[in-house]
Structure 1
Amino acid sequence: MKLLKRVIASVDQYPESILVVRQQTEQRLPSHQHDKAQLLLVFGGIAYLQTRERDFYIPSSHYLWIPKNYPHNLMFNTQDLHIINIYFPGKSLGGFYDEMGIYPVSKLLSEMLSFSEKWQGNYFKGSWEYRFLNTLKHLLPKEDLKKFSIQLPTTDDQRLNTILDRLRTTLNENITLEETAKQSGISVRSLTRLFQTKLRITFIQYVKMLRIIRAIELIKDGNLNMTDIAYEVGYSNISAFSNNFQQLTNMRPTEFKAMSSK
């Protein structure tokens, strides 16, 4: 709790400053919020951001925009992850800035980050660093990039969470609604209703997202080729795997691998 108060106080200490933080502190905090909007950049691994409604998955070479005063909690499970946080003050500009969103790091943004790679701490109006970072902020929506759209809804329903945990451990099997209902001791109709009322998503959609999330983790590990990854997450058809991957990430698995290995 002391760490939480210290981090929030640090972020909001100077209401008019742009704050750059390169230390991985937020992953040790419970759900929290601050008065500044946050640009969170991820390199070298996968970060997980929890909100009240959904879990967001942020792969390497992507960034997350978090609106001001938006409760969240960051997690990750890899040692080689590098995170950059930039906190922006001021009133919301609407549109892009009012929505939680995950986007790929473009070449332009990458070059701007490289230029400012040694910057850390608070920067105030009148300094050229402030002007540079403010320009970076205003460029984000101009690039018109497609959102990375894997967001898993969450629930506090223990019965459903037990089922979801089982699904995560059997992704390489032929998962069906009927068999899952049978294993869980409930009817197909009841299980369908659980997903609709508690998660507001279909069973098939949830399993598809779980499989692609696992595929992202395996691509990052780099130990398997794409065909083996497809089989490992339950696809017998590499074409179906590639198409579903593109539907959820806006890129083919091979494109994602190339981006992640930069």
Structure 2
Amino acid sequence: MALSFDHVYLDVQRFRLGAYCSTSEKGEIATPFHSHNKGQFIYAEKGTLHIATADRQYFLPVDHFIWIPRGVTHRMWTNNASVRMFTIYFDNQHMEDDFYHATGVYMVNNLLHEMVRFVVNWEGHIGRNQYAAYQFLQGLKAILPGVSKTRQLPLLGFIKPRDERLLEVIGYMRKHLDEKLELGQVAGKFGFSTRSLSRSFNAEGTSFIEYLQALRIIQSMELLVEKDFSIGRIAAMVGYDSITAFSHTFMRFTGIRPSAYTKGL
């Protein structure tokens, strides 16, 4: 049985050594901004998850994991009706590698996938007195830096703009992904010139087109998880005129075709 956010938060803050396992399921993933005094590993078993920190927003699809270092303030939410996320909070022992000090989303390899499957139903604190379980989790933690060298995807850590006007623009883009959105048209709606809006995106390390494509692919992944619509219908719902164009863009952002992604769900 999954525990409440408040219950888990207090339990995690209290323990000093060991690890703490927790499962979040349908209807339970919507947290306020918070931080932990432990490193946090989250694996997406079913559904997708959004994670926001002070300056970036991350998207966690199925069979990926996110590492959130201790002390990093973040909040989480999902747009999917059916979700299952498995989390391990680790003590602060043996975290010298740079991996443990940066937030990141990574693809799960076969070894990590099997290790997570073995522990996915564990709940609560695992201390040193539970020798076998404790050592297994320490081994899982130890392989994460190596697993993280798997290719990171472009949409798995995109900007969270500080410019309030740009946030309004992005909010509009999110609500109108099924439409043909062009830089000049969107700029005019919010009082930007085409050049100034382009510069605003460039100042955040991206472009209007790149950000728009990322939003479209993220929403398509959320829709594909629900399995309510065909790939062609979803392509149209996120603004693509053809399945081919959608498939090429999906491949560029995720490394796989939409059809392959749905087979793995």
Give the TM-score normalised by structure 1.
Answer: 0.87
Aligned to 1:19: 20
CA contact 1:42–1:83 (8 Å) conserved in 2: yes
Tell me, in whole angstroms, the C-alpha distance in 2 between the residues paired with 1:39 and 1:63. 7
Query: 1:37-87 CA deviation, whole Å, 9 max, x = no partner?
Result: 111112221111011111111112221111222221111133421111101
Q: Which amino acid aligns with 1:152?
A: F
Could you list the runs of 5+ residues in structure 2 that have no partner in the other structure? none
Tell me, in whole angstroms, the C-alpha distance in 2 between the residues paired with 1:118 and 1:239. 40
Tell me, in whole angstroms, the C-alpha distance in 1 between the residues paired with 2:217 and 2:24. 29
The verdict on how the C-alpha distance between 1:34 and 1:146 changes in structure 2, with shifts beyond 3 A counting, is same
What secondary structure does 2:95 align onto? coil
Over aligned residue pairs, what C-alpha RMSD do you find? 2.4
Aligned to 2:168: 162
CA contact 1:26–1:74 (8 Å) conserved in 2: no
Aligned to 1:243: 248
Aligned to 2:122: 119
Find out whether 1:140 has 2:141 as its counterpart: no
Aligned to 2:68: 66
Tell me, in whole angstroms, the C-alpha distance in 2 between the residues paired with 1:148 and 1:72. 20
Percent of paired sites with the same residue: 30
Tell me, in whole angstroms, the C-alpha distance in 2 between the residues paired with 1:10 and 1:182. 51
Tell me, in whole angstroms, the C-alpha distance in 1 between the residues paired with 2:189 and 2:13. 50
Tell me, in whole angstroms, the C-alpha distance in 2 between the residues paired with 1:141 and 1:222. 33
The verdict on how the C-alpha distance between 1:258 and 1:36 changes in structure 2, with shifts beyond 3 A counting, is same
Could you list the runs of 5+ residues in structure 1 that have no partner in the other structure? none
Aligned to 2:239: 234
Q: Please, which moves more after superposition, 5-14 or 38-47?
A: 5-14
Query: 1:208-244 CA deviation, whole Å, 9 max, x = no partner?
Result: 1111111112211222222332232222243332222
Query: 1:17-53 CA deviation, whole Å, 9 max, x = no partner?
Result: 1111224698443222222111111222111101111
What secondary structure does 2:201 align onto? helix
CA contact 2:65–2:108 (8 Å) conserved in 1: yes
Tell me, in whole angstroms, the C-alpha distance in 1 between the residues paired with 2:105 and 2:260. 17
Give the TM-score normalised by structure 2.
Answer: 0.86
Tell me, in whole angstroms, the C-alpha distance in 2 between the residues paired with 1:97 and 1:226. 37
Of the three residues 96, 102, 119, the one matched with 1:93 is: 96
Of the three residues 64, 77, 80, the one matched with 2:79 is: 77
- TM superposition shift of 1:194: 2.3
CA contact 1:26–1:73 (8 Å) conserved in 2: no
- TM superposition shift of 1:196: 2.8
Aligned to 2:133: 129
CA contact 1:18–1:123 (8 Å) conserved in 2: yes
Q: Which amino acid aligns with 2:143?
A: L
- TM superposition shift of 1:173: 2.2
